[in-house]
Amino acid sequence: MKKTDRAIEEKICPLEFAVNAISGKWKIPIVWRINQGEKRPSEMLRGIVKVDRRVLNQQLKELEHDGILRKEVFKELPPRVEYTLTPLGKSLVEVLWKLNDWGESLLVEKNDSHC
């Protein structure tokens, strides 16, 4: 591999990693809703209409594993589970706003106002 190629690979590497981390099904709606203040999986299930609990739990687990979410279990009866954004998760939300703005330009370009 040439030196310039390696430089390009190194630049792409964190980017591909970032895209992989957020491109899982429902991950963006989940992060977005937690950012809006929804902390409990039951709230998310009501809000994200097409997701089922098994899929939601898997996505939450991956986001927690990536350090984007923090899970807190309250020892109550019945037990209560809440998710919040870590500092890494909060910085992701900042980038998602930029990507959202770009998506708006894309929708204008495609002359498509529905998703």
The footprint of a copy of itself (CB under 8 A) covers 5, 8, 11-19, 21-23, 28-29, 32-33, 36, 47, 66-67, 88, 91-92, 94-96, 98-107, 109-110, 115
Report the residue number, 58 or 95, with the smaller CB distance to a copy of itself: 95
DSSP code of residue 77: S
Count other Cβ atoms within 10 Å, centred on residue 110.
8
* Residue placing its CB nearer to a copy of itself in the complex, 45 or 99: 99
**Beta-carbon count within 10 A of 83 CB:** 22
CA-to-CA dists, residue 99 to 21, 30, 92, 104, 106, angstroms = 15, 16, 10, 9, 10
Q: How far is the CB of 31 from a copy of itself (least distance, A)?
A: 10
Min separation Cβ 82 and a copy of itself, Å: 19
